[in-house]
Structure 1
């Protein structure tokens, strides 16, 4: 890679750029995690997390990646051999399915084309075909990081309610929380899974479960093995502002600052900013004459856009050239989309000029690798960004 100066453009869909305010907060001295100052910090953080999730109930915090929060959601609510219904919306939905099977669960996995979200009609059909209520949980990825497709959680909740089925609703918001409108309580979600390294503007290392009363009751009889992931000891310790393990203190400092930043901007404004940047990115893609991977206008992601290249062009080669020439990282195609797409992250600590620079780098990279495009793509995005 050529020697470069200036900032690196980290435009993958997470980890995202960490704001200076958060970095400075994390640089504070570590304190005693059994002392009164830490107890006050924990109490404040647990209160501050609730509005971000749209949850009145508890939010459990782990020193782990989002994968850990996936496992916690499953082992706290299910027993060996129980049936889970999932939807193949992309690479991460597939990984969650694999985890469930490794844990000893049975998974009915609805096949998908990775261009659409979970189908509420199919969900209703599967639940109606289960009068014995063998399905114990429905697992859905809200915003599929590998595809830029957002499933319509309120419609999925309505499908569950219409059938009268008692299955729990477990939702992965790892690349949507703090970027795309999400309402744990209002949408009737039982367990919301999240991570720190995307819309929450932190480094990787924290993960979360927001938990409904129904999920808490279910956990009392769940029989999958759990120790570190067990909600019970964590919630008990949290009542005194503590954790039953050594917490990631300095990441928690950063979380406090990130929550203050979200509160200062206001969550509605945060969501509107992300939606606007997503609209500008799609305008650029279409202006270039290329295709956005998401095929349903209702399901476009506000946090990332996946760009589908013509079959004769290698998306990884485009990414390689852009990294070498312009010091910008774009997301790779994952799983069966490897080499077919690249992903532009536009989430977290992000503004208009950062997006303009990102899209300029993409346009130059496409031209350098011989992908036939219309140079009006960048101007199409700037028109969206410049609108009053």
Structure 2
């Protein structure tokens, strides 16, 4: 392999690039996870994650990918044969639905077009039809990584309440947490799922469940057979900063550093920065004459932008060309939109200059790959950055 000068642009929508501060924290010597010094590390991580989820309830940390936390969320509160409603926002909502069915859950999928978030009205209507309250949970993806759309979680909660339905609200915020505003307690979420490799700026390997008192009570006597994923087994040791089995010790060092970085910047500023970068990226895409996959105004993601290539052209061929010539990794289209879209990640430890470098590479890649487009996308993005700032967005 020949050497490529300069730094690789990892612009997929996660895993995101890991900041040097976090890398240094992870590189510390391994600690005895049963020893007295570890309690402070564990407690700092568990309490710190509550501030990121914005909850006073229990948060559990598993050494796993986000897929593991999906399973933990389901098996702790649902039994085989239970009915749930899920909303088809994209590829990852589809995978969560598939997992539920494999576990024996009767998962009803409300059809979506992959171009916006979940529809609270459709969810509320389905719950009103369920007069016997057979539906046990509503499962929604907060930030759909395959499409670049955000679901209005507070409105989904409102729809459940207005239907007078007791269903749990379960939310996947794997790619949303620490990038897009999320308020577990205020929005009445019962179970939230997340992972370490997106807005939390860590390598893959940690996953999270935030759990309401209502969901925790159900898990005491309900749910499926489980061992590794059992909240009850985690809860006791967690109270003193320990875990029932070997935790991801060095990733916890990094997690504590990442949480400190997020609070140093201020969560409102983090969310505004992502929002601003999303606005600038969408301005670039539209100036190129291309289509943003998410067309629901107000539900566009600050984490990533999914871009539709013109009919007859290959998004994957464009990505390969851009990687070869400009050393930029862009996200591919998944399942229904495979080879039709590419995804620009703008999340994590990311600033204006990095965004402009990314968009410049994309614009050069469009030309090199022969994708029909207009010039000026980079200029359009720069104008958005010039006209908006984080302070104005946090004040809005």
Do they fold alike, i.e. is TM over 0.5? yes
TM-score by length of structure 2 reads 0.97
**Aligned partners of 2:2, 2:303: CA distance in 1, in Å?**
29
Matched residue, 1:189: 189
**Aligned partners of 1:92, 1:360: CA distance in 2, in Å?**
29
Return structure 1 stretches of 4+ with deviation > 3 angstroms: none
Matched residue, 1:291: 291
Matched residue, 1:243: 243
**Aligned partners of 2:222, 2:72: CA distance in 1, in Å?**
12
**Aligned partners of 2:152, 2:302: CA distance in 1, in Å?**
13
**Aligned partners of 1:268, 1:149: CA distance in 2, in Å?**
20
Matched residue, 2:392: none
Matched residue, 2:145: 145
Matched residue, 1:85: 85
Matched residue, 2:312: 312
Q: Render the CA deviation track for 1:281-308: whole Å, top value 9, x for unaligned.
A: 0000001011100011121001000001
Question: In 2, are the aligned partners of 1:199 and 1:347 still within 8 Å (CA)?
Answer: yes
Q: Render the CA deviation track for 1:173-232: whole Å, top value 9, x for unaligned.
A: 011100000000000000010000000000000000000001001112323121100000
Matched residue, 2:123: 123
Question: In 2, are the aligned partners of 1:191 and 1:215 still within 8 Å (CA)?
Answer: yes
Deviation at 1:386, TM superposition (A): 2.1
Matched residue, 1:70: 70
Deviation at 1:35, TM superposition (A): 1.0
Superposition RMSD in Å: 0.9
Matched residue, 2:221: 221
Deviation at 1:2, TM superposition (A): 6.4
**Aligned partners of 1:2, 1:315: CA distance in 2, in Å?**
25
SS of residue matched to 2:198: coil
Question: In 2, are the aligned partners of 1:201 and 1:258 still within 8 Å (CA)?
Answer: yes
Question: In 1, are the aligned partners of 2:147 and 2:294 still within 8 Å (CA)?
Answer: yes
Question: In 2, are the aligned partners of 1:291 and 1:308 still within 8 Å (CA)?
Answer: yes
Question: In 2, are the aligned partners of 1:2 and 1:324 still within 8 Å (CA)?
Answer: no
Matched residue, 2:24: 24
Which residues in structure 2 correspond to 1:139-218 (within 5 Å)?
Answer: 139-218=139-218
Matched residue, 2:338: 338
Matched residue, 1:267: 267
Question: In 2, are the aligned partners of 1:137 and 1:169 still within 8 Å (CA)?
Answer: yes
Question: In 1, are the aligned partners of 2:90 and 2:144 still within 8 Å (CA)?
Answer: yes
TM-score by length of structure 1 reads 0.99
Matched residue, 2:322: 322
Label 1:55 to 1:177 Cα distance change in 2 as closer, same or farther (>3 A).
same
Q: How many residues align?
A: 388
Choose 367-376 or 13-22, whichever is displaced more. 367-376
Q: Render the CA deviation track for 1:338-382: whole Å, top value 9, x for unaligned.
A: 000000000001000000000000001111111121111110001
**Residue ranges of structure 2 left out of the alignment (5+ in a row):** 390-396
Question: In 2, are the aligned partners of 1:68 and 1:207 still within 8 Å (CA)?
Answer: yes
**Residue ranges of structure 1 left out of the alignment (5+ in a row):** none
Q: Render the CA deviation track for 1:134-184: whole Å, top value 9, x for unaligned.
A: 100100000000000101101111000101100000000011100000000
Matched residue, 2:101: 101
